[in-house]
Amino acid sequence: MEITAIEYMALWGVLGTALMGLAYAVLLVLQILKEDEGEPGMVRIANAIRVGAHSYLTRQFRAILLPVMLLAVGLFFTADPFASGHNMSIAVGRGLAFLMGAGFSATVGYVGMSMAVRGNVRVASASKRSFGEALKIAYRTGTITGMLTDGLGLLGGTLIFMIYGIRAYEVLVGFGFGGTLLALFMRVGGGIYTKAADVGADLVGKVEKGIPEDDPRNAGVIADLVGDNVGDCAGMAADIFESYEVTMVSAMILGLAAFGPQGVIYPLIVRAIGVGSSIIGTYAVRARGEMRHAMRAISRGFTLSAIISIAGFAVLAYVYMGEWAPYVFAATFAGILLAISINFLTEHFTSKRRPPVQEIARAAQTGAGTNLLGGLAVGYESTVWSILIIAAAIVASVAIFGADAVRASYGIALCGIGMLTLTGNNVSMDAFGPISDNAGGIAEMAGVEGESLSVLADLDSVGNTTKAITKGVAIGSAVVAALSLFGAFIEEAKLPQITLTDPYVFVGLLIGGAVPFLFSSIAIRAVGRAASAIINEVRRQFASIKGLWEGTADPDYAACVNICTAAAQRELIGIAVLAILSPIAVGFLLDRQGLGGFLAGAILVGQLLAVFMATSGGAWDNAKKLIEDGVYGGKGSDAHKAAVTGDTVGDPLKDTAGPAINPLLKVMNLIALLVAPLIAKYRADPVIYVLVLPMIGAIAAAVWYSKKERASWQGSASSSPRS
């Protein structure tokens, strides 16, 4: 592959930009750690949260280490290492790239969470001084995670391309798969943890006992605050990172087929421009004077980054892509417009300032039933507008390149590249939510009063909206990335077309559409069982610990932390079995055409289901918070209790099952991409069914295991050490 001297210099420039993004993250770490932690009571609570969060992630990494190593060996063999040519080097590279992608994804999640549990108490302390200072610390703490995502994702993809050249795409699938698999583990595990604690603590504390959300007498509150970090910080950070990886991998694979080296280098430079614009935009986020409108400040930074990126794309396209400049720029620009549109749409359906959430809050006046119906209606409606926006962006990206199927697929990949160009901003917005939420919980548990609580409540409300926006972007990017990978699968599988008149294709479509429902069932059931265990434990402590209700004795916080940790770990292997083995089994049973139908069904149903769950859950949450602000009777009213029930239903939807569908779709697409050559080569061999039948058995066993009751949780929790 011929790469000019200027292109080679550009690649080194991209590497330098990736390192610059990482250096910016280090600078922010140093700035945040210099901030004041506040009074001793706040520090003590923050330390408990930090210990719980680190303990959970350490245990999770131990649990998944062996499966990750085994899969690295499996990826080595998917490259047919003993065939003629340079397959051995590709096989080794694919396995190592898988480990690098997994390691980078884990690093983003772990470091981001570590800074979140250090930034939360500093935000609480800053709220006593000014709104602007609290906003700046919360957002910049989140930006650390965003820049790690940008820097490591760009670094890995560029290094692999520089080492392997024209065959880089064969190694890049390993890099993308590693990041995606870790994201699936962290997203599902963190989601089960956080929502089990949240639901259990809320139902006993708010509904049964009528005490505040973060009352220190509630044994579940520390687990709840820990969960915000392992679910929303570590889990979502890994989720966005793998979307960032996968869109880059698919763009490089398709770009090589469409335009040669130019098609690979262009998306890398686009991502480098995004890193620079995110640095400028995130650093510009601050409140002006005494203005207390955090969303306006965050949106201003996002808009600044978008303007810089668009200008950079235009210059790059016209300087580098020659006659194709208008086309590649338009496809990339479509991605930016898609991200902005999803931001607006998600804010409309989930913000307290907008009619949908206000309607749900009004419905709570007549009980939990009408509140639930209102949230369901909002969630269903949002899926329609979301899919229309995504469809418009995809059609525009495809139409730009005309009838050329490969270049049309490249256009979709460039749309994904453009959409996630501002990943630094998006992840900053997401991490801002749990950091602000934790800060409010720390202040409340430490007995802070006055204006500080009002400042933190304002930040928390905005944080709910920014988290919902990020989930919307993550889901939209997952669909675009999955579709890009689908195009790469069609190219790799040598399928000229897939037709629904083929019974195998149609059966694959049906099975693929069913998988997101089965996956969601497993995740939500896990949350429900663990939440029941938390409820029983919190009730037990209120009944059995003398002086707890009066505030003269402390609850056993560690018991609830242990319950949530055990619940999260138990489901990980079953989830991985479903995600990894189902496309392999379908592929060998229904051939490559049937596997194509399977992927198409999963992408369509997964997108609709994920948007519905994320939006309805976010709307229920903010409807509850709107009532807590004082409308319709405020806290403790019948409307508030109905809204808490709605929020309880929405929690596992928006923070566990919904977001976890993102990595599920990409894991299945990447697995299909990896096994397509093996299906073509070995499907006719009857011996292959000796392997396929145990795969089906393993999936059935995983589903059965997910339904098994965990009576041991209560016993292990009751005997846990006090903290």
Contacts of 666 (CB under 8 A, 6+ apart): 176, 180, 242, 243, 246, 478, 481, 482, 485
CB atoms within 10 A of CB 659: 32
Summarize pLDDT for 656-704 with one digit per residue, the tens. Answer: 888 888 888 888 988 888 888 888 887 888 877 788 889 999 999 988 8
Residue 716, pLDDT > 70, answer no
The yes-or-no verdict on residue 197 having pLDDT over 80 is yes
Residue 288 has a pLDDT of: 65
How many alpha carbons fall within 13 Å on the CB side of residue 631? 18
Query: Residue 721 has what DSSP assignment?
Result: P
Q: Has residue 717 got a pLDDT over 50?
A: no
pLDDT band at 723 (very low <50, low <70, confident <90, very high): very low
pLDDT at 623: 92
> What secondary structure letter does DSSP report for 287?
-
Percentage of the chain lying above the pLDDT 70 cut? 96
**Neighbouring residues of 8: CB distance < 8 A, sequence distance ≥ 6:** none
Task: Show Cβ contacts of residue 557 under 8 Å, excluding neighbours closer than 6 positions.
Answer: 48, 52, 219, 221, 222, 223, 723
pLDDT in tens, 613-661: 988 998 998 899 899 888 999 888 899 989 988 988 988 898 888 888 8
Count of alpha carbons within 13 Å of 193, Cβ hemisphere only?
Answer: 34
Q: Among residues 156, 597, 622, 631, which one has the least CA distance to residue 351? A: 622
- For residues 428-446, give the mean pLDDT: 85
Contact 435, 142 (CB under 8 A): yes
Q: Tell me what pLDDT residue 721 has.
A: 35
Percent of the chain with pLDDT over 90: 23
Average pLDDT, the chain: 85
Distance CA 126, CA 466 (A): 21
Question: How many angstroms separate the CA atoms of 273 and 597, rounded?
Answer: 36
Residue 715 has pLDDT above 70, yes or no: no
The confidence score (pLDDT) of residue 85 equals: 61
Residue 313 and residue 276 in contact, taking contact as beta carbons nearer than 8 Å: no
Q: Is the pLDDT of residue 461 over 80?
A: no
Q: What does the domain layout of the chain look like in residue ranges?
A: 5-287+297-718
pLDDT of residue 713: 43
Confidence class for position 503, pLDDT limits 50, 70, 90: very high
What is the Cα–Cα distance from 422 to 659, expressed in whole angstroms?
19
Single-letter amino acid, residue 706: S
Helix (H, G, I), strand (E, B) or coil at 173: helix
Q: Which residues contact 175 (CB under 8 A, 6 or more apart)?
A: 97, 98, 100, 101, 156, 157, 160, 245, 249
Taking the C-alpha atoms of residue 146 and residue 241, their distance in angstroms, rounded to an integer, is 9
Looking at residue 256, its pLDDT comes to 82
Contact 239, 187 (CB under 8 A): yes
Quick: pLDDT tens for 560-573.
888 888 887 777 77
In degrees to the nearest 10, what's the CA dihedral of 233, 236, 237, 242?
160
Angle between helices 168-202 and 131-164 (to 10 degrees): 150
The per-residue DSSP string of 15-79 comes to HHHHHHHHHHHHHHHHHHHTS---SHHHHHHHHHHHHHHHHHHHHHHHHHHHHHHHHHHHHHHHT
- pLDDT at residue 553 in the model: 86
Which pairs count as long-range contacts for 156-160, CB under 8 Å and 24+ apart, including other chains? Answer: 156/97, 156/100, 156/101, 156/104, 156/245, 157/245, 157/248, 157/249, 157/252, 157/268, 157/271, 158/11, 158/14, 158/15, 158/18, 158/268, 159/15, 160/93, 160/97
Where is average pLDDT lowest: 136-150, 408-422, 581-595?
A: 408-422
- What φ, ψ does residue 351 adopt, rounded to 5°? -80, 145
Confidence band of 710 (pLDDT split at 50, 70, 90): low
How does pLDDT run across 109-157, given as a tens digit for each residue? 888 888 988 998 999 998 888 888 888 899 999 899 889 988 998 899 8
Decide if pLDDT at 432 tops 90: no
- Give the residue among 606, 596, 608, 602 at the shortest CA–CA distance from 512: 602
Assess whether pLDDT exceeds 50 at residue 598.
Answer: yes
The more confident residue out of 140 and 422 is 140
- Whether residue 720 has pLDDT greater than 50: no
- State the Cα–Cα distance between residues 203 and 648, nearest whole angstrom: 8
| pLDDT over 80 at 490, yes or no | no
Give the burial string for 86-125 (b: 16+ CB within 10 Å, else e): ebebbbebbbbbbbbbbbbbbbbbbbbbbbbbbbbbbbbb
More confident residue, 181 or 1: 181
pLDDT of residue 467: 76
Distances in Å between the Cα of 2 and the Cα atoms of 8, 256, 388 are 10, 12, 41
pTM here?
A: 0.83
Identify the band that residue 516 occupies on the pLDDT scale cut at 50, 70 and 90.
very high
Report pLDDT digits (tens) over 234-281: 777 777 777 787 788 778 878 888 888 888 889 999 999 999 999 999
